[in-house]
Amino acid sequence: MQYYTWILTFHVMAFMSWMAMLFYQPRLYVYHTENKDKKDFVDVVKIQELKMYKYIGIPAMWAAIISGAVMLYLNPYLLSGQAGGWMHAKLFFALLLVIYSYSLGYYRKKLERDDYERSGSFFRAYNEVPTILSLLIVGYVITKTFSISFTLITLVVGSYIVYKVFKQKEK
C-alpha cells in the first residue's frame, strides 16, 4: 500500500487526459462535418482527430484502466459488498466510457473516408455523453456511495440536455 497514493495520482492524471480526448474529439467531428466542403480545413482536422485519438486518448484510457485495476488489486475491499456498491457503479459507467471511446474511433474512421453518416448536430449532442458519465463516476468516487436518486436525476437531466442540443438548428 506504500505506492497506492502514487498509483492513484497516476490514475487521476490518466483519467483527466482521457477525458480531454472524450470532450474534444466529438467537437473536432462537429468542425469536420460542418466544413466538409473545405478540403484544406478538413485535411488539418483529420490530422488532429487521429493524433488526439490515437496518441492521447487511447493510451490515456489504457493507463486509467491499468492503474485502476492495480488499485483494485491492492485494495480488494472496494469490490466487497461492505464498500456499498459505489465502485461497481463507477466501473459500470467507466465501461460505458470505454465503449464511447471506441465509438469515437469508429466515427473517426468513417470521417477519415469522408463518410458523413452523422451531422454536426449529432456530434454536438454526442459530445454531452462523457460529461454525464464522468459526473456519475466522480460523484460516486467523491461520496463513496451509490445513490439511485443521484443516478436517475443525472441520467434524466443529462438525457434532456442531449435531446435539446440535438434538436438545435444546424449553424
Mark the binding-site residues for heme, compressed into ranges: 11, 90
Which DSSP state fits 170? P
Q: Tell me if 93 sits within 8 A of 133, measured CB to CB.
A: yes
Residues 18 and 104: their CA atoms lie apart, in Å, by 12
Q: Tell me if 83 sits within 8 A of 1, measured CB to CB.
A: no
Q: Tell me if 133 sits within 8 A of 99, measured CB to CB.
A: no
Q: Tell me if 36 sits within 8 A of 110, measured CB to CB.
A: no
CA dihedral 150, 18, 126, 30 (to 10 degrees): 150
The three three-digit cell numbers of residue 64, written as one number: 486509467
Binding-site annotation, residues: 11, 90
